[in-house]
Structure 1
Amino acid sequence: MTHPSPSKTDLRASLRQARRAFVLSLRAEGAAAERHIAESLAAQVLPRLAGARVVAGYRPTPWEIDPGAIEAALLAAGVTVALPRTQPNAPLTFHAIDRNTVITPGLHGIHEPPSSAPVVVPDVILVPLVAADRRGVRMGQGGGHYDRTLEALRATGPVRAIGLAFDVQVVDTLPAEPHDQRLDALATPTRWLEFSAVPSS
C-alpha cells in the first residue's frame, strides 16, 4: 500500500522542526560549538568566492546558519558586502554595508540595512534556506522572495546562488515547482556541493 506524499506545507514544518532541534542541541554545547560551525562554513565558502565583486549575505533568523564569519572576512578583504531589504511580493533589493551600518528589523522581523544604504547588484548571493536537496532544489520560508529575486537577476545577467545550511538541512530530494530557482552550489560546515545546470521543472 502506498502512502500519499506529505504536502509541501507539512514537509516544510517537519524540516523546520529538524533544523530547530539541531540548533537547540548546538546551543546547548555552548558558544565555542557555534563559533566552530561558523568558522567551518566560512572555510568551505571563502575559497570559492575568489574574484567575486559584490557578495550578498543575510542576517540569520534564530534557526538559520550564520554567514557572519564569511561577511567579516570579505569586508576585511575589501569585497563589497550587501544585505537584502524585503518588500511584500517583490524581489529583494541589496544594499552595501560596512562595519558601521545600522541594521534594524524589517518585514517579518528580519534585520536589514536602511533604505539609504547604496543599492548594488550582487554577482554572488548567499541564500538561507529551510532545506536543500542534492540537485540544488531549495526550500525556503514560503514567501518566494529569493525565487523572485533570482529569476529577475538571472534574466539580466549571471548571478551565482550559494545555499548555506547545517548538514541536517541537506536531504535527498525535495519537490520542485516550475517557478523554483535552483541553487548553483550548497555549502555546509563539512561539505561543498556544486550543481550543474538543470531545468527548473
Structure 2
Amino acid sequence: MRDPTEYPKPALRRMFRSDRAAFVAAQSPAERARLEGDLAARVLPLLRGATVIASYAGVGAEVDPGPIEALLASSRPPPHVAFPLVTGRDLSFHIAAWADLKPGVLGIPEPAATAPRVTPDLLLVPLLAVTTAGVRLGQGGGYYDRTLRSLRAAGPVTAIGLAWDVQLADALPRDPWDELLDWVATPTRLVDCAKHR
C-alpha cells in the first residue's frame, strides 16, 4: 500500500472500515469478547482518578466499551459514566443507563437531552484508524475534534482512542482541526501518544 497520507480521507475511511469489518467478522463471539476484555483490563489503570468518563455506544465493528464500563462499576467510588448526544455540530455528554439510550440523528444510540449533562475529564473515543502519535481518523463529521477542542480549552481532559490492532496505521493525514489523542488502547497495546510525536 502507498503511504496512507497520500490517500484522500474518504478513501482511507472506506479502506479502514473494510479492514475493521473483516477483522471482526473473522472473530467468534467468544474471541471478540476476550479481546474486548483484554483491552478493558489494559486501559483500566488510566481511568483511575477520573470522575466523569465519557463512553460511547459501540456500533457494528467498533470496539465495544461495555467491558470497560463493567470493570469501572466495581471501582470504589465508581466514576460517573456519560454518553454523547449530538447537539448541533458538537457533542454534549449525559449520564444515562444503557437501557435508556435511543438511536439519535446519526442512528447511534444516545441519551435523552433531558438526562443530566456533565463535563467529562476523560473520553473513550471511537475511531476508524489511528497512529501511535494519536492522529485519529474518524467517521468524518468532526464531532469529536470540535468537542475535544472545546473541552481542552476549558480544562484538562484525557482522550483515549479504543481500537483493534488492525486499526493502527503507520501514518495518517492530519488537518489543522484534527485533535490528537493522548492514548491509544488495543487488546495488545497501550500507547502513550506523546512519546511518539
TM class, shorter-chain normalised? over 0.9
Aligned-pair RMSD on alpha carbons? 1.9
Deviation at 1:197, TM superposition (A): 8.0
Q: Is the 8 A contact 1:74 1:80 kept in 2?
A: no
**2:62 matched residue in structure 1:** 64
In the alignment, what sits opposite 2:173? 175
Match of 2:123 in 1: 125
Structure number with the bigger relative contact order (C-alpha 8 A, sep ≥ 6) is 2
CA contact (8 A) 1:87 1:107 kept: no
Report the 3-state secondary structure (helix = DSSP H, G, I; strand = E; otherwise coil) of the residue aligned with 1:86.
strand
Question: 1:33 is matched by which residue type in structure 2?
Answer: E
Residues of 1 paired with 2:169 and 2:71: CA distance?
29
How does the TM-score come out when normalised to structure 1? 0.90
Is 1:83–1:96's contact at 8 Å kept on the other side of the alignment?
yes
Q: Give the alignment's TM-score, normalised by structure 2.
A: 0.92
Unaligned runs of 5+ in 1: none
For the Cα contact (< 8 Å) 1:103–1:113, is it kept in 2? yes
- Whether the 8 Å CA contact 1:138–1:183 is kept in 2: the answer is yes
The letter of the residue matching 1:183 is L
Indicate whether 1:155 and 2:153 are aligned. yes
The answer on 1:83 being equivalent to 2:77 is no
Kindly, what percent of the aligned residue pairs are identical?
Answer: 47
**Which residue does the alignment assign to 1:5?**
6
Q: What is the SS of the residue equivalent to 1:136?
A: coil
Kindly indicate whether the alpha-carbon contact (under 8 Å) linking 2:132 and 2:196 is maintained by their aligned counterparts in 1. no
1:58-117: CA deviation from partner (whole Å, max 9, x where unpaired) = 00110200000111222332210000001342x200001246x51110021100111121
Structure 2: unaligned runs, 5 residues or longer:
none
The one-letter code matched in structure 2 to 1:103 is L
Cα separation, partners in 2 of 1:98 and 1:105, compared to 1, 3 Å:
closer
